[in-house]
Amino acid sequence: MSPSVRNIIAWILQVLLGLFFIKAGFDKLQGLEGTMKNFSGMGFPGWFGGLIGAAELLGGIGLLIPRTVRLAALGLIVIMIGAVVMHATKIPGGLAGGIPALVALVLLVVLYLLRRPVTRLA
């Protein structure tokens, strides 16, 4: 894949995933009481829902900043692994309800790999 095509694909993923996570984090923080109740119902302390919401919001913003893309993607990958596991084990509806989390996880991994430093051969 040429560097320019790789860059275009990466930017498209960055923008789409950035907006997705900004919205997801904002929604969790806007409905913090419900988020805390949901996380408590899964066996986590309620404040953990607020932490995840803030991390998603900041991670989404980080995906839009070239210097922080890989770090933001890595942090969001960890969160999405947790989301997929929770959907598979504790959230009613099972993994079928976690398809958006699974898709986001795969796309974050693709973005992380697309934004890895390119080494040039002499």
**CA angle centred on 97, ends 93 and 103, rounded to 5°:** 155
Write out the residue range of the structural domain in which residue 28 sits: 3-114
- Give domain status of residue 87, yes or no: yes
- Give domain status of residue 119, yes or no: no
Write out the two tokens for 116.
């890895």
Work out the burial of residue 73: count CB atoms within 10 Å of its CB; fewer than 13 is exposed, 13-18 middle, 19 or more buried: buried
Domains in the chain: how many in total? 1
Q: One digit per residue, pLDDT tens: the chain, 122 residues?
A: 788 899 999 999 999 999 999 999 999 999 999 999 999 999 999 999 999 999 999 999 999 999 999 999 999 999 999 999 999 988 888 788 889 999 999 999 999 999 998 776 65
pLDDT at 122: 58
- Give domain status of residue 84, yes or no: yes
pLDDT at 121: 64
- Give domain status of residue 81, yes or no: yes
Helix (H) or strand (E) holding 5: helix 3-30
pLDDT at 92: 81
